[in-house]
Structure 1
Amino acid sequence: MNQAHFPDKIRTLPIFQGRFEANRLTTENVDIYFASYSQGTEIEAHQHNSDNHGVVTQGELILIVDGKEEYYSLGDWYHLKPHQVHAARFDRDTFIIEFWFK
């Protein structure tokens, strides 16, 4: 997916190698992902060791936690606690800035 949604300087950050497309900024206490998800993307149930916060900058995130779907759109923030099992779905092209606190 085209990362042009984010400014040029952001697109020069290292590419994240994972389940989604992103440029990553790494610091001692947090990894910041400038992520894009193409329409139709589904991410299976999983968990992280990190405390995750994110904000939708375009599109819509459908987050599935405890079998319940939660919808997040432009400007909405979400939070996932460490080890909280979750899945995600994207019915539209979506861009999110994610903060994974170590």
Structure 2
Amino acid sequence: MIRIGLILFLVLMLVACNDDAHNHPSLESGQQLFEYHCAGCHHDNGKGNFLKGIPANIGTGLVEWQLIHKMKQGESNSKMPVFKSMSKSEATKIAEYITSKSH
């Protein structure tokens, strides 16, 4: 019973962190888009959760194109979901928000 509960929990976490729906016209700012797509895993402050293997995305030193690549293309050896249907404009807004918070 505990095993089934754990599996269901993990599935729900993956679904919550991988909302690849992009029909949300009311979300326009980088912050709003970050909160919608990223904060579920990386938290509102962007510091992630080290104990769960979720790295910070604020203050990492990555530049915008690297962040966009991670969102849209992903990386091998990464647990981060890939947002293939995310527009470049949306990814750019999120990346700009992340880099603005890093300074």
If the length of structure 1 is used for normalisation, what is the TM-score? 0.27
| Structure having the larger proportion of residues in strand | 1
Find the structure with the greater CA-based Rg. Answer: 2
| Structure having the larger proportion of residues in helix | 2
If the length of structure 2 is used for normalisation, what is the TM-score? 0.27
